[in-house]
Amino acid sequence: MTQNTTSQQKARLVLADGTTFEGVAFGALAPTAGEAVFTTVSSGYEEVLTDPSYAGQIVVMTSPEMGNVGITRSDLEANVPHLVGFVVRSLSPLPSNWRSQETLSEYLTRSNVAGLTEIDTRALTQHLRENGSQNGAIGTASRDELLAKARAHRDMRGLDLVREVTPKERFAWTEPSDPAFFASAQRADHHVVAIDFGMKRNILRRLVDEGARVTVVPATTSAKDILALAPDGIFLSNGPGDPSAVPYAIETIRELLGKRPIFGICLGHQLLALALGAKTYKLKFGHRGANQPVKELDTGRVEITTQNHGFAVDLETLPKNVRATHQHLNDQTSEGLESVEHGAFSVQFHPEAAAGPHDSAHLFAQFARRIRATQGAPAAS
């Protein structure tokens, strides 16, 4: 059934290979371009909209009905969305949620993000799976104009998007997951410096839940300045773009290796691997969704995880002193690594969920235990 939208203006998504999908516009109407990708999450579109890892991308939702819970600011993972386009099969015009503060369409309009609805998102997803993620342009402009815009858009390979999403100044974070159940801010017993490459808020909440006093620093912060903050542990966050295009972060992590316990997630996993001497590469269509199966190699335990990444660590390039700890069961790609020598470990998936399963939340407790085990021990010079 046709849904009511804000404009009812005809709009289209044109991919760089010329494939065109026509539908109805919502949100902002000005034409925009980005990398077209899909995510298989069935809920949590608010978190998808505001995950900085989606910076510069047009996100296609495979679950058909979106907008039915509206927008609630406390559910957002960043102050503003960083994606450039949002494509859905059906747009719900009336949120059914007492917490909702505005509709999805109103939020995208206010945030200057283009939306497209009433298209065959199944066919679009299949096209991206078969042909790979690629640039596209979305809007009410002509097909020829959008095609030219898509083909002229910057390539994700070699692109440093971290500088576009990292904070300008350092700040403290004290909010736990649920103030009604956690008094973590009062019982903090260790200090974590989190390097923000485009971090989701729920990561910070989970660090606080485990007893951390958290200081967030910009991605360009030097190793010297990070160590001057006297951290007990260092966290490497998720973020957008090509990890190999962020040499300043790789060098900083290399200088921090062995100085404090290190834990990385998503882009942080890739940057840690690069700092240790491995290489990364771009996946055909990436892993995005809340139903990604990952095997822990030591125990054989399988966890269902939330993921959002388009690049991966090349397992064949891991140095001998670095071991793989997790593997994706769909394509056997890298999902985790550890360097015992340097007290560093990382995972490609998102153990903080938001949205998604909580199978891997124990990794935050593992990081806290590692920090506590080193407290009082002489720091590496």
Q: Which of 336, 197, 364 is nearest to 273 (CA)?
A: 336
Would residue 322 be called left, alpha or beta, if left means φ above 0 and alpha means ψ between -120 and 50 degrees? Answer: beta
Helix (H) or strand (E) holding 117: strand 114-117
Q: Is residue 315 classed exposed, middle or buried when 0-12, 13-18 and 19+ CB atoms within 10 A define those classes?
A: middle
82 is catalytic: no
Q: How many CB atoms lie within 10 A of CB 277?
A: 14
296 is catalytic: no
Kindly report the backbone phi and psi dihedral angles of residue 190, in degrees, each rounded to the nearest multiple of 5, phi listed first: -150, 160
Q: Which residues contact 115 (CB under 8 A, 6 or more apart)?
A: 25, 26, 27, 28, 85, 86, 87, 88, 91, 104, 105, 108
Peptide bond into 355 cis (omega under 30): yes
The length of the chain, given as a count of residues: 381
Q: Which of 77, 153, 266, 269 is catalytic?
A: 266
Q: How many CB atoms lie within 10 A of CB 228?
A: 11
350 is catalytic: yes
Query: Which tokens hold the place of 40?
Result: 């298989």
Helix (H) or strand (E) holding 20: strand 20-27
The SS3 of residue 48 is: helix
Cα separation, 369 vs 274, in Å, equals 25
pLDDT tens per residue, the chain (381 residues)?
334 445 589 999 999 999 999 999 999 989 999 999 999 999 899 999 999 999 999 999 999 999 999 999 999 999 999 999 999 999 998 999 999 999 999 999 999 999 999 999 999 999 999 999 999 999 999 999 999 999 999 999 999 999 999 999 999 999 998 876 655 445 789 999 999 999 999 999 999 999 999 999 999 999 999 999 999 999 999 999 999 999 999 999 999 999 999 999 999 999 999 999 999 999 999 999 999 999 999 999 999 999 999 999 999 999 999 999 999 999 999 999 999 999 999 999 999 998 888 999 999 999 999 999 998 655 554
Domains assigned to the chain: 10-152 (3.50.30.20), 162-374 (3.40.50.880)
